[in-house]
Amino acid sequence: MSFGKKRNIFKNYITGKLRFTEFAITNACIAKCPFCEIWKQQPKVFVDREKALTAIDRLASFGVSHLTITGGEPLLHPNVIEFVERATKNRMNNAVLNAAPQLLMRNDIIKRLEGAGCDLVSISFDSGDPVTMAESRRIPGIMDRMKEAMELIKKTGLKTMASVLIWNDNYNHLEDACIKAKDMGFDFVSLNYPTFSKSQVYPLGGDGISLSRENVIDGLQDAIRLRKTKKYGIINTVSSMQNIIHYLEDPGKAKYHCFGGTHVFFVDWFFDIRPCMQLPHVIGNILTIEEEKLRRPGCNDCNMSWYRDFSMYFHGLRTIPVWFDSLAGSKGLL
């Protein structure tokens, strides 16, 4: 990450404006994951180029210092490089998610992402087993394509992250996926906590994540053990995973609530702002909303990882150990 982006994060933090956002630029996707139903949605929507560039400018003016460009599959959008460039121009640390690695081999996209100032490519990584990966994403040969993409990325300055969902196949042997991700050259691993959602824009669920709370807790406890070894670059902090365990045991025991809709939020392909991708409530539209409307009471309604993890940094003095925890394990992700 450039010095300018780091300085922007620091400036927004000390002024109380720091925010993190996921921006879903399309609901089109090649993968047909059994735990996500976005690929079934009709019609397929791609955000308008000019409106999206304006949205990114407005997000920056609201203090958004980290932007995750997601979907669906964001690499299907013809203007994704321009969106990365605009985020970089606004000194936003930015990441692009990817579920279909074959797209990383098209149109010199990797070098173009690097040239646009992309900081991180996050690739869905459900299992270290090629057969399981192909069945999970319903993309034949996905692991071979991922290896090829990683070899190309390693020739650039881009950082890579394996995005690992805790699900039926891996909750009791997460280290296997972490070992495979490290062997393939991933710089970081992020763990996604299984959750169900009836959101109109982002429905989640299915048999693949129909784990008992005890199973999820077992997986998180193993993840905490792996995080403490510092072998795999797991970015989820111990504090956040422990907080999710407390939430699963009893929502009232969660020490840290979520700042969804205030410091972290989701912008969908209609430019509507939601506290997170799971909740149905729309706060407003990014093209018209006034910044003071981005205020919501602390939320404790789900265990959505991206929002709960980032929210950990906004709890005043209690947050100090979380920052140190993050610095100790992320190897400079932010």
pLDDT in tens, 72-83: 999 999 999 999
CA angle (230, 232, 237) in 5-degree steps: 60
Tens-place pLDDT, residues 57-73: 999 999 999 999 999 99
Task: Look at the chain and report how many structural domains it folds into.
Answer: 1
Whether 321 has a pLDDT exceeding 70, the answer reads no
Residue 279's CATH number = 3.20.20.70
With pLDDT > 90 as the criterion, what percentage of the chain qualifies? 80
Would you say 103 and 152 are in contact if contact means Cβ atoms under 8 Å apart?
no
pLDDT at 307: 95
Answer whether residue 233 shows pLDDT above 90: yes
Structural domain harbouring 181? 3-330
**Would you state the structure tokens that stand for residue 30, as one six-digit string?**
């090649």
CB atoms under 10 Å from CB of 111, counted, come to: 14
Token pair belonging to 51: 């409106």
- At CA 8, angle to CA 318 and CA 60, rounded to 5? 100
Q: Distance between CA atoms of 96 and 113, rounded to whole angstroms?
A: 9
Residue 294 has pLDDT above 70, yes or no: yes
Span 94-150, pLDDT tens digits: 999 999 999 999 999 999 999 999 999 999 998 999 999 999 999 999 999 999 999
Closest CA to 272 of 281, 288, 284, 264: 284
Q: So what's the pLDDT on residue 133?
A: 94
Mean pLDDT, all residues of the chain: 92
Q: Is residue 78 classed as helix, strand or coil in its secondary structure?
A: coil
pLDDT tens per residue across span 182-222: 999 999 999 999 888 777 788 787 777 889 999 999 999 99
Q: Above 60 in pLDDT, residue 331?
A: no
